[in-house]
Amino acid sequence: MQEIETQEWYIHLIEQCQAIITEAGFHSRWSLIEGYHTLGQRLLDEFDNFKRHKIYGRQITTLVSESLGKSERTIERAVRFAKKYPDLNLLPEGKNTSWHAICHKYLGKPKDKEEGETREDDFFEVICPKCHYKFQIKTDSVNIDKKEGR
């Protein structure tokens, strides 16, 4: 058996097999990166539709993640990735990277709000049915007890 391992054709076969495995791994990682980038871009393309339905920020992430059966973190990362790198050619490591590296090296954790800072998803609109006046209510000022259905 050891005799075959020294044969030139066998050595060449093993080298080719290793190259196939390496290439397949590369394509697999890059395909995943392209997929999440496309997902993020697609969601960003629909921002106006979400806005028209008064769905903002975390609400978008929650709704889409539930509909797709993916985690909110995955959806959020895909959107942040597409925002930060609209062109995949701008990735610091080029194609020599992985989704894990992108998430941990380049996206980091979502930026928390500074104290006193407000964002669009901190508010929701209520329209008076009689006068049609629009009110903006800050979300942290609303206390809803879900257990009692109020």
Q: What integer pLDDT is reported at residue 123 of this predicted model? A: 52
- Answer whether 81's CB lies under 8 Å from 36's CB: yes
Q: What integer pLDDT is reported at residue 55 of this predicted model? A: 82
Mean predicted confidence (pLDDT) in 113-117: 44
Banded model confidence at residue 131, pLDDT cuts 50, 70, 90: confident
- Answer whether 48's CB lies under 8 Å from 60's CB: no
Mean predicted confidence (pLDDT) in 35-43: 96
For the chain, give the mean pLDDT: 81
Measured distance CA(24)–CA(19) in Å, rounded: 8
Domain coordinates in residue numbering, the chain:
2-112
- Confidence check: pLDDT of 141 > 50: no
Contacts of 37 (CB under 8 A, 6+ apart): 78, 81, 82, 85, 88
- The conformational region for residue 17 under phi > 0 = left, psi -120 to 50 = alpha, else beta, is alpha
Mean predicted confidence (pLDDT) in 9-34: 95
**pTM metric for this prediction:** 0.65
pLDDT digits (tens, 9 = 90+) for 52-88: 888 887 888 899 999 999 999 999 999 999 999 999 9
Burial 48-86 (b: 16+ CB within 10 A, else e): eebeeeebbeeebbeebbeeeeeeeebbbbbbbbbeebe
Q: What integer pLDDT is reported at residue 17 of this predicted model? A: 97
Which residues face 124 on adjacent strands?
137
Measured distance CA(121)–CA(54) in Å, rounded: 9
Q: What integer pLDDT is reported at residue 124 of this predicted model? A: 54
- Confidence check: pLDDT of 3 > 80: yes
- Confidence check: pLDDT of 147 > 50: no
Residue 109, token pair as written in the block: 């954790």
